[in-house]
Amino acid sequence: MARSSAAEGPAGENLSSIPSALPANLVEFIEVEKTYAGHVIAVRRLDLVVRRGEFLTFLGPSGSGKTTTLNMLAGFERPTRGTIMLEGRSVDRLPPYERNIGMVFQNYALFPHMSVAENVAFPLSVRKVEKRDMSARVRRALEMVRLEAFSERRPAQLSGGQQQRVALARALVYQPSLVLMDEPLGALDKKLREHMQIELKQLHDQLGITVVYVTHDQSEALTMSDRVAVFESGALAQIGEPDALYKEPANAFVANFIGENNTLEGTIEQASKSSCVVRLRDNSRVKATPIGVMVPGDPTKLTIRPEQIRLAEPGSDEDTCLEGTVEGRIYLGDHQRLLLRLANGQELTVKIGADAGFQPGMPLRLAWSTADCRAFPASP
Amino acid sequence: MSENRAPIISAEPRLPCGTAALAGVSAVSLRAKLRRLMPLHEEMRALTLAVPLLALLIVSFGVPIIALLSRAVYDPSIVNALPRTAEALQHLSAADPPGDDVFAALEADLKQDQAKGSIFEFAKSLNSRLSGARSQVLKTARLLAGGAAFSKSELVAAVPFWGEKETWSTIRGGAHGFTSFYLLSALDLRWGADGLTSVPAGEAVFLRVFARTFMVAALVTLATLALGFPLAYLISNLPPTLANLVLVLVLLPFWTSILVRTAAWTVLLQKFGLLNDALIALGIATERLELMYSRLGLVIAMTHIQLPFTLLPIYSVMRSIPPSQLRAAHSLGARPLTAFRRVYLPQALPGVMAGCLLTFILCLGYYITPALIGGASDQLISNFIANYVNVDLNWEMAAALSFMLLTFTLLLYAAFARFLGLDRFKLV
Ligand SMILES: Nc1ncnc2c1ncn2[C@@H]1O[C@H](COP(=O)(O)OP(=O)(O)OP(=O)(O)O)[C@@H](O)[C@H]1O
Ligand SMILES: [Mg+2]
C-alpha cells in the first residue's frame, strides 16, 4: 500500500491505530431478507461478510437488490428478516445517524444551499467538533481530494467530477471506518470515471478504510475491488476475488455476467467428478468440467470463453473438436473476433490472433481443453 | 356592489402565474439560459412574439391604472369652478391675505357657477376637502344671486367663512389642478395654513385602516403558513396517487367562486352555525362565540380561502427536494430535527417565502370577505376604496388610497427582493 503522500491525511492516523484485537469481519449479513409491500422480494436470504479494510463491490444487473442491501446497511431500510451486525453488534435498532457510516450517493446529494466547505464541515458540526479543529479537518479533507481552491463555491458551480470529490470528502472527513458508495461514478463520462476509479482506489489504500461499493459496470468492479459480490435477482450469486470470479465462476449467471462467454446447451451423457461428456443438439459430443453434481440425462449449459477456443491442428488429437463455418470477422489490430456457426446451428465467438486471414464461408475445426469448458446445471 | 369596480387591487384572488401545474425556472436563471441558447437578435425575435401580449397588458392594465391613479394628484374641480379666482391668486404670495381683486373674481366665478348650475358640484368637491364648506358656498351663491355686489369686508361680514385662513389655503391648494391633498389625506395628513399637520384625532381613519389591513394580512399569512407547511410536507412525502387525492381536496375550494366560499362561511360562522355547534359539542367552548362580524371569523374565512396560495409554492419546492438530501444528512450523523432544520428547511424556504408573499399581497386587497363577514371595525382598505368609488363617488380619494396601497405593496416586495434576492422566490 502506498501511504506516502497522504499519510498525514485525516484518516491516515486511524489506520495505524487499528487495534489488532478487532474482529476481522466488520459487517455480517445474517439471513437478511427484504420484501416490499409483502410480495416484492428485493433481497432474499443474504449471508454476506464484509472484511475489515477491504474494497468490496456489489455487482449485478439493474433491480438485483444492490441498492436495497446497501440501504439496509446504511440504516435507511429495515430488513424484513435477519440481522445485520456491525463491529460485532446488531444494528437492527440503530438509526442511520448513529451508525457512523460514510455514504456517497449516486447523485452526490450535496447540500445546494451550502458552500463546499460547509458541506464538508456538516458532519463535523453535527458532531459538535470544536471550530478550530473543524476548519483544519475540513481543509485537510479538501486537500485530500485536491479541492482546497474551491472551498467557497456552491456545489452547482462545480463539475460532476468535482462534486463527486466533495461528496467523497464529506463522507470521509469524520473518519468513518466504513464507507458505502452507491454507483458514485455513474453520472460521469468514461474518461473521468476511469480517472476517479484510480483516485478512489488510492484513497482506499491510503486511508485503510473499508469500502462497500455498488456498480453494474463489471470492468469497474474487477479493476477496483479486493472482492466482488455478484447479485442476481435479489440473491448473492457468488462472492470472491475478481480473478476467481472470472476463472472459476460458480454458476452460469456469473460465468456469463463476468467477462464474455459462449454458451452451448446440451445433455449430460456421462459424468464423473472431474469431467463429463455432454451431447449437444446435433449429437456431437463435447468433454467438459462439471460444476456441481450432475447425473446423465440432466440438461446442462456449457460455457467456454472466446479466447480459450483455438483452431485444431489437422490430424491432432484434441479433447474436443467441433466443426464450424465463419460467418463474420471483426479485425481489432492485435486480435480478431470470428463469428462462427456450428454444424448444429448454434453461434460461437472466437478470439484469435490477428495474423491468419479468414473469409466468410470458410470451414474451421475448433478445439479447446476440457478444463476451460464448464458444464453448469441448466435451470429448468 | 360589484367587484370589478373596485380599482387597482382586485380582491378576487387569482391563480398565481406559477402554480404547481406550470413548470418554470426563476426569471433570472431563465434569462441567463436564454442568453446562452440564442444570440441577441433571436432574443429580439422572441420578444416580437410577445408584442401583442405586451400591447394588451399596456392597454388593458397599464393605461387604466395610470389614468386612475392620476386622479389622486390631479383634481381640476376647483380651478374649473373658480377660473378667475385661481388666476387672481396666482399673483399673490402664499402669505398674503386675498385682496379686493380676488374677492371680485370669486364673486364673478360664483355667479357664473350659479348660472351654469355647476355650483352644487363645486360645493360638494370643496366640502370633501374642507368639511362644512358646502353650506357656506351655497349660502354665498344665494346671496350673490340677489344681484348686489359685495366688497371684501361686506362679504366676510355676511359669510365669515371667506375670512378664514383655512378656506383660502384650501382654494389655493386646488388652484393648479394638481394637488397633494388626497395623497396626504390617505395618510391622515393635511397641508394647512400652518404647514403639514396630522388631521384631528376624530377625523383620522386611514392610517388605522392601513395598519388593520396589514395586521389581518399578516395574521392570515401566518395561519396559512402554520396549516400549509405541514400539509405540504405531508403531501410531498405521500405516494403519488394519495398525494394527488389530498392535493385535489386542498384545491377543491379553488374551483368555486370566492363569493360562494365567503357565503358558505357566513353560514358556518353563525352564532348557531356549524362551527359553534362543533366547538360546544367538543367541549372546547362553553358558550357560543360571536364569530360573524368579528375579526376572528374574518381571519378564519380568509385563511381558508388563502390556504392553497400559500401551500402550492411550498409544495412544489418541497417536491423538488430529492429524498436523498435528508438521507445524506442522516448518514452524516444529523438527527432528524437537525437534518430538517439545517438541510430541509433552508431548501424549502424559497417556496415558503413565495407562498407567504403571495398570500400577504392578496390579503391586502381583500374586499368581499371583510364586507360580508367582518364587522364595522374589520373593514379593510379595499372596502374604503370601494365605498369611495361606489357610494361617495369620490374617485380622487379612492385613487389616493389605491396609490398608497400599491406603494406599500411594492415597497414590501422590493424589501423582500432586496434582502432575499428575487431568484430565491420559487413558485414552482
Ligand atoms: N421502495 C420500493 N418499493 C417496492 N419495490 C422496491 C422498492 N425499492 C426497490 N424495490 C424493488 O426491489 C428490487 C431491488 O431494487 P434495488 O434498488 O435494490 O436494485 P439495484 O440492484 O440497486 O438496481 P440498480 O442497478 O438499477 O440501481 C427491484 O426489483 C425494485 O423494483
Ligand atoms: Mg441501485
**Spatial separation of the C-alpha atoms in residues B367 and B382, rounded to whole Å:** 5
**Spatial separation of the C-alpha atoms in residues B411 and B207, rounded to whole Å:** 17
Consecutive H or E run containing A181? strand A178-182
Specify the amino acid at residue B98: P
Enumerate residues 6+ apart whose C-beta is below 8 A from A242. Answer: A221, A222, A223, A225, A227, A228
Give yes or no for a contact between A161 and A125, defined as CB atoms under 8 angstroms apart.
no
Enumerate residues 6+ apart whose C-beta is below 8 A from B225. Answer: B310, B352, B355, B356
Give yes or no for a contact between A178 and A49, defined as CB atoms under 8 angstroms apart.
no
**Helix, strand or coil for residue B121?**
helix
Q: How much is the pLDDT for B11?
A: 39
Least confident of A80-94, A105-119, B122-136: B122-136
**Out of A103, A110, A127, closest to residue B331 by CB:** A103
**Spatial separation of the C-alpha atoms in residues A112 and A107, rounded to whole Å:** 12
**Spatial separation of the C-alpha atoms in residues A128 and A123, rounded to whole Å:** 9
- Give, in order, the Cα–Cα distances in Å from B121 to each of A69, B78, B115: 86, 10, 13
Distance in Å, alpha carbon of B388 to nearest chain A alpha carbon? 48
Q: Dihedral sign, CA of B40, B45, B46, B47? A: positive
**Spatial separation of the C-alpha atoms in residues A259 and A303, rounded to whole Å:** 12
Residue nearest to atom 10 of ligand 1 (CA): A42
Enumerate residues 6+ apart whose C-beta is below 8 A from A156. Answer: A112
Enumerate residues 6+ apart whose C-beta is below 8 A from B399. Answer: B7, B68, B69, B70, B71, B72, B182
Q: Do B335 and A97 touch (CB under 8 A)?
A: yes
Q: Dihedral sign, CA of A277, A278, A283, A284? A: negative
Q: How much is the pLDDT for B418?
A: 81
Q: Do A95 and B330 touch (CB under 8 A)?
A: yes
- Give, in order, the Cα–Cα distances in Å from A41 to each of A23, A36, A37, A68, A253: 31, 6, 9, 10, 19
Give the global pTM.
0.77
**Spatial separation of the C-alpha atoms in residues A2 and A14, rounded to whole Å:** 15
Give yes or no for a contact between A91 and A84, defined as CB atoms under 8 angstroms apart.
yes
| The C-alpha cell that represents B362 in the structure block | 392578496
In tens, the pLDDT along A13-45 reads: 444 445 556 778 999 999 999 999 888 899 999
Contacts of B322 in chain A (CB under 8 A): 107, 109
Specify the amino acid at residue A117: A
Query: From the alpha carbon of A68, which atom of ligand 1 is closest?
Result: 18
Contacts of A74 in chain B (CB under 8 A): 327, 331
Phi, psi for residue A149 in degrees, rounded to 5: -75, -10
DSSP for B336-401 reads HHHHIIIIIHHHHHHHHHHHHHHHHHHHHT--HHHHHHS-GGG--HHHHHHHHHHTS--HHHHHHH
Give yes or no for a contact between A128 and A190, defined as CB atoms under 8 angstroms apart.
no
Q: Do A126 and B343 touch (CB under 8 A)?
A: no
Regarding beta strands B195-198 and A89-90, do their DSSP bridges make them parallel or antiparallel, or are they unpaired?
A: unpaired
User: Which ligand has the nearest atom to the CA of A233?
Assistant: 1
- Bridge partners, A34 (sequence order): A43
Mean pLDDT value across residues A327-355: 86
Enumerate residues 6+ apart whose C-beta is below 8 A from B286. Answer: B280
Give yes or no for a contact between A326 and A361, defined as CB atoms under 8 angstroms apart.
yes
> Which one of B332, B344, B345, B423 makes the best mutation probe of the A interface by having the most chain A beta carbons within 10 Å?
B332
**Helix, strand or coil for residue A304?**
strand
Specify the amino acid at residue A372: D
**Spatial separation of the C-alpha atoms in residues B202 and A127, rounded to whole Å:** 62
Residue nearest to atom 25 of ligand 1 (CA): A62
**Grid cell 491505530 in the structure block, residue:** A17
pLDDT-flagged residues of chain B (< 70):
1-40, 193, 421-428
* pLDDT surpasses 60 at A9: no
Q: How much is the pLDDT for B31?
A: 61
**Helix, strand or coil for residue A105?**
coil
Looking at residue B162, the DSSP 8-state letter turns out to be: G
**Spatial separation of the C-alpha atoms in residues B102 and B87, rounded to whole Å:** 9
**Spatial separation of the C-alpha atoms in residues A61 and A251, rounded to whole Å:** 16
Phi, psi for residue B196 in degrees, rounded to 5: -80, 120
Mean pLDDT value across residues A285-298: 86
Question: Quick one: what percent of chain A has pLDDT higher than 90?
Answer: 53
**Helix, strand or coil for residue A164?**
helix
Which of B337, B327, B336, B324 shows the shortest CA–CA distance to A101? Answer: B327
User: Which ligand has the nearest atom to the CA of A232?
Assistant: 1
Identify the band that residue A48 occupies on the pLDDT scale cut at 50, 70 and 90. Answer: very high
User: Which ligand has the nearest atom to the CA of A46?
Assistant: 1
Give yes or no for a contact between A179 and A172, defined as CB atoms under 8 angstroms apart.
yes
Q: How much is the pLDDT for B228?
A: 96
Distance in Å, alpha carbon of A233 to nearest chain B alpha carbon? 24
- Bridge partners, B133 (sequence order): none
Count of pairs with CB atoms under 8 A, one residue in A, one in B: 66
Domains of chain B: 78-173 (no CATH), 206-424 (1.10.3720.10)
Question: Which class for A217: exposed (0-12), middle (13-18), buried (19 or more C-beta within 10 A)?
Answer: middle
**Spatial separation of the C-alpha atoms in residues A182 and A58, rounded to whole Å:** 9
Contacts of A154 in chain B (CB under 8 A): none
Specify the amino acid at residue B113: D
**Spatial separation of the C-alpha atoms in residues B230 and A373, rounded to whole Å:** 63
* pLDDT surpasses 50 at A252: yes
**Spatial separation of the C-alpha atoms in residues B159 and B136, rounded to whole Å:** 7
Distance in Å, alpha carbon of A107 to nearest chain B alpha carbon? 8
